[in-house]
Structure 1
Amino acid sequence: MSRGPRAELAEKIAGEVVLSDDPGATLRKWRTDFEIAQTDLADALDVSPSVVSDYESGRRGNPGIEVVRRTVAALLDIDEQRGGTHIRQYTRVLSAGFDSEVVHDLREYGATIPTQRFYRAIDATELVSGTHDTIAGHTVIDSIEVIRRLSSDEFYDLYGESTNRALVFTNVTRGESPLVALRVVKPTPHAVVLHGIEPDDVWEHATDLARIEGFSLAVTSADLEEMLDGLRELP
């Protein structure tokens, strides 16, 4: 009998924590990814918030297997009680065969939003306007890992439910490789964002390719974690 999505995700989180050189930091990463406050996690575990803080900071040393198991279960329980948004998000990434080294974030929105609202959330500057001015989701991917590890069919899976979305490429130097890849994979998303560079750093042919393909092209130099935090504010 195959395991359910929750069991697969629980195994992934627990494995990352146990194998991490800094288990507390890894626990903190997952808690913040699930947008759960230390106080809420502490309530679910029936401990004081200082206990959670001590584990995450390393003041209590490495958490044992039982602590990790209970913490992971509590994170998933809280998310399910809130509607299971993050479980569904990570399940979709895992079911497509991706991991956190390839996909930083993948979400569908409850309704379409203006592309400019998306850009404001990640402090992006638009270089080319696309033929569409709204999106209904986003995918944040590592440009090097995507090109190195994924086939064209797997790349298309990154679009999630629809091409009506923004693809954000991290680990970008000039944006040449992502833009060339988008010439091969059809159809293209509504918006493409090159993360980690300034407008003057963009490959000289990038804007021409964006106009030919009809997608909006933008850049942002925001810190990765700050950008992901901004995306969590979207509906």
Structure 2
Amino acid sequence: MSERERDPRGELGEKIAGEVALSDDPGATIRKWRTEFDVSQTTLADELGVSASVVSDYESGRRASPGIGFVRRVVEGLLDIDERRGGGRIRQHARVISAGFESDIVHDLREYAATIPLSRFYDAIDATEVAEGTATTIAGHTVIDSIEAITRLSSEEFYRLYGQSTNRALVFTAVSRGESPLVAMRVVTPTPSAVVLHGMTPESLWEHAPKLARVDGFALAVTDLPLSEMLERLRDLP
């Protein structure tokens, strides 16, 4: 199917509904997606024409598992809210899928209209640089679940994480100390302009990580900003 024929809203709606239907805890899955869309229980309840307590009861499991009719209304409600806000979540999903990845591997993949200073990217996500690279600007970013990417992607698939350009920042989430992402970068050629390890502070970083980054020529930074807030801030970049 061509990009023009694709239906990003429909694809995302089917993904959400499928996850809820197959989940052992449908309420928790609804809560996950509501949070991902940055929609409060009250806002979703107003969209559905129910009280906030109804949404809360389903998400907490106090009510029996929601039927297909309610799940369909929740999905449509989240998508409608997103479209009124500009469609950011729908576009994000479309970018990831068009690059050939599942959203459990790639949280976000963006190309910028123009390059931006790497320092601006750091400021947006409260990142601290621990090793300086050769590039001072980037043209995009990719946010990756490090465990899923390293265990499931081939070297060729890993390279596709670069999108249109290697002049970008790769942000690895689900990082413990940083060994795995930094070792993985040793076998990937060429390397990106910058690597950011999410969920870490400089003190918790693997001691050899800065040296490896310098050897391979990319900048290395860390951030412990909550994932949802980091993704939200990245959506505000040009």
**TM-score bucket of the superposed structures, by smaller chain:** 0.7 to 0.9
**2:54 equivalent to 1:46:** no
Q: Cα 1:74–1:57, aligned 2, differ >3 Å: closer, same or farther?
A: same
Structure 1 residue 142 and structure 2 residue 151: aligned? Answer: no
Pairwise mapping of residues 156-175 of structure 1 onto structure 2 (< 5 A)?
156-175=159-178
- Native 8 Å contact 2:134 2:217 kept in 1: yes
C-alpha separation in 1, matches of 2:211 and 2:102: 32
Partner of 1:152: 155
Residue 4 of structure 1: CA displacement? 2.7
1:7 maps to 10
Q: Could you tell me which of 192, 216, 221 is aligned with 1:218?
A: 221
TM-score by structure 1 length? 0.82
**Cα distance in 2 between the residues matched to 1:229 and 1:5:** 20
Once residues 177 and 70 of structure 2 are traced to their aligned partners in structure 1, the CA distance between those partners, rounded to angstroms, is 44
**Structure 2 unaligned blocks of 5 or more:** none
Q: Match for 1:59 among 55, 59, 62?
A: 62
1:181-213: CA deviation from partner (whole Å, max 9, x where unpaired): 223323322221123344344444432332243
Alignment CA distance shift 1:83-1:201 (3 Å): closer
Retained in 1: the 8 A contact 2:167–2:193? Answer: yes
Deviation, 1:217, is: 0.3
Count of residue pairs the alignment pairs up: 235
The residue type equivalent to 1:17 in the other structure is: V
Structure 1 vs Structure 2 CA RMSD: 2.8
Q: After superposition, where does 1:47-196 map in structure 2 within 5 Å?
A: 47-109=50-112, 112-196=115-199
Q: Deviations over 1:31-81 (max 9, x none)?
A: 221223434433432333343333333333321111111211222222223
Report SS of the residue matched to 1:158: helix
The yes-or-no answer on 1:33 pairing with 2:49 is: no
- Give, in whole Å, the separation in 1 of the partners of 2:208 and 2:214: 10
* Cα offset, 1:108, TM superposition: 4.1
The alignment's TM-score, normalised by the length of structure 2, stands at: 0.81
Name the SS of the counterpart of 2:151 in structure 1: helix
Identity %: 72
Distance 1:110 1:31, change over 3 A: farther
